[in-house]
Chain A
Amino acid sequence: MKSLFAIYAYRGEQGYALYHVFDEEGGLDFESLLQFIEGHPGLVMNPRYFPYLVGFESLDQVKTLAFELCREREADRVVLLTPQDYNEVIEEHSHPEPFFQALASRGESMENLEERSSKGGLLGKIFR
């Protein structure tokens, strides 16, 4: 199963910041993320973060972006990680292979995209 990982954090009044998006084929750079967001009118970036980070007002927006990227990268699921999840995995590992496996078992995993989208709601709206 191919996983897409997204590390995000809640930053109080500043909303949610997306620090890294990556899978076992590599990481997405900042410019690509910005271009991707521009190409999806449903995603509205919090301008307070620009030009250093990608950030949003709500967690739904973070999830939406992650799902859209997941579909684009042809991944099976998204794993949303907090810095704490990521740090704990780093602390335990020193090599890439177990690192990705360990990450895949952490965080908030969202699978079965089609099923979710068929149920409606925000994600459903985006997937139709």
Chain B
Amino acid sequence: MNLSQQGQVSSVSLTTPVPRDEDVTFPGEGWFYYWKTSASLWRSKLETHLSGPLVIVPLNWSFHSETGDTYDFAQHRPETDLQKLCLIAEELHKKVVFLLPLSPAPFLPNGGLPHFLARTMALNEEGLAQMAVDADGSFNKLYSFFDSRVYQAFTRFTHELSQYFSRSGINADVIGMRSFSYCPYLGLRSLMTDRSIVFEQSFARYLKARTEEEGLELTNGEQEADLKLDYTVTIERLYEENAKRAFHAHWEGTLNYAFLGTSGEDQFGRLAHRHRDTRYAVDLLECLALDHVPSSALLPSRAKRSVLKRQSQDLVLNSFLLSKLERYEDEESSLFKPLIHFELAELDPKSKPRDHHWTSNGLLPYLRATYPFSYLIHRLDQRSLEEEEGFQERVLFYLGHGLNQGSFHRMLTRFMSGGRLIVDTSYMPEEFSKRLEVFMIENSLQSEKVNFHTSIQNIVLGEGRMVLIDGQKLNQLEESKLLAFWQRLLETFGLKILSLEGPEGVLHYWRTRAAHGGELNFEEVRRLSLYNPSSYKRKLTIQLPKTMALMKVIDSFHVEVQPRPSHIEVQMLPEGSVSLDFGLFS
């Protein structure tokens, strides 16, 4: 292997491209940078360049307050007039949703902090300065949110802004935004993370307080790392609670945003004007699977003109985001929501051992290869049953060693409510093993035991099914046996999933909606979106099961679709994309 070719660079710009005006003000996913264009042009720009019902407006704190003490909401600069922006949007039949950064915002200079508050650079866990390379190639340095002066100024800012909302009759919603970097190898990392001297000093005070109040004793580095996580979460919640209080009636919750192009190698590559456009298209789908809203705001405009732009519009803005903001769904319920067949419990970051995860027991590699992006990896213990409409249709995966009191209780509740669960019991604390046994005895549940590469117990209760496996034994299996194991096990769940046979490199993503009045033959309608981000032609075949019928082909771009009696042939030119709607019946 020649490492000089390792950059996997899809294209290199030899000259600095001049970004188009609309790319500067509309960085993607429905966002509008109101501070980057004259207020007199807002109407024409919104009218011309933004489709869809929503205008997502990130709030730029430093634009309204240079010092952190005084504020400008339409008093001096017309571009600070958020009331005017809302009125224009209303006239254009669009709804403004404000995004309020609750952590350093990588798309803003100084992470969004007013100049005088940008005092201590935030450091990541490796002690490296947190920064983000912006769409124009400049650095946005991120500063510590653990500085008490920042928190006090944030409190004043949210108070002033909410007062301005009241005075000017703005009734738009406000959503808190937590920012994350995304790396294919390291996953998501919160940009709130800080190990600067300011963080360490405030953490020392937190530790002292807990020592005095609870008699806490710090005995090892692992414990200290866990406490730092606790402290970070505590401060994150302080900012969130503060914003929630200030905007009470406007507040619509918090979203996690993952910024594409923020891994270490991406940032250094982008500093050198090298871009891995093909990979951003994959990263976007990975972020969706991690239950985070992907943002292409930091990517240069040239990276967003092809497949990524269509993904951003179709999958992020018009599907994932709208499904998160359910109140914006239209009355006909025509929204295609992400189709999820599998939900994997994300570990609490403090769980031990950390390295035993869905990758080592072979599940995630299997799902990635067989049902790409039809899964969701998130904290199952943080969602109530009411929030998980339709969970009975999915297979839920739990890790025994990631369980706590709350998640164990929720796991059993889901099982008793007809949920289908697979629980990897490796490293499950004895307390929960015993409670599981007691639960089975109390409910007179019988388990069917099978040995297939590992011990498997199948337990049924009404519609509910719980399969217990010892994932530790799977770790030693060779790859082909691991794949066969998961295939055999998941086949027993009888999932209605369409298989695709095609070359690597074609990305696909499934969405679903309920059937409308005129579609009574069908139980539901599923939309398959196909993307070819490569510079090669691709051909694939879709085998149609008897329970699915092709309804229509839409948004075809450089693609030819040929329906046959039992299958569909799709030929895709470079950067082509298409969506196919299927009716599903029993």
Contact = CB atoms under 8 A, between A and B. Distances in A.
Interface of A: 7, 9, 17, 19-20, 22-32, 35-36, 39, 50-53, 69, 72-74, 83, 86-87, 90-91, 93-96, 99-100
B129 to A, nearest CB: 4
Contacts of A7: 128
Interface of B: 1-4, 6-7, 9, 121, 123, 126-129, 131, 133, 137-139, 141, 183-186, 263-269, 271-274, 355
Given A19-B264, A26-B9, A91-B141, A9 B186 contact: no
A32 B131 contact: no
Given A32-B3, A36-B3, A83-B126, A100 B139 contact: no
Nearest to B109: A94
25 contacts: A9-B126, A19-B128, A24-B272, A26-B9, A26-B268, A26-B269, A26-B272, A27-B266, A28-B265, A29-B184, A29-B185, A30-B183, A30-B186, A35-B1, A51-B185, A72-B3, A83-B128, A86-B128, A90-B141, A94-B139, A94-B141, A96-B272, A96-B273, A99-B139, A100-B271
B9 to A, nearest CB: 7
Contacts of B355: 50-51
A30 B4 contact: no
B6 A32 contact: yes
Nearest to B127: A83
A7 B265 CA distance: 12
B125 to A, nearest CB: 9
A27 B216 CA distance: 43
A108 B567 CA distance: 62
A22 B123 CA distance: 19
Contact of A90 (B4, B131, B186): B131
A39 B121 contact: no
A95 B184 CA distance: 25
A96 B186 contact: no
Contact of B137 (A28, A32, A35, A96): A96
Nearest to A7: B128
Nearest to A23: B272
Contact of B138 (A31, A74, A95): A95
A35 B6 CA distance: 11
B139 A95 contact: yes
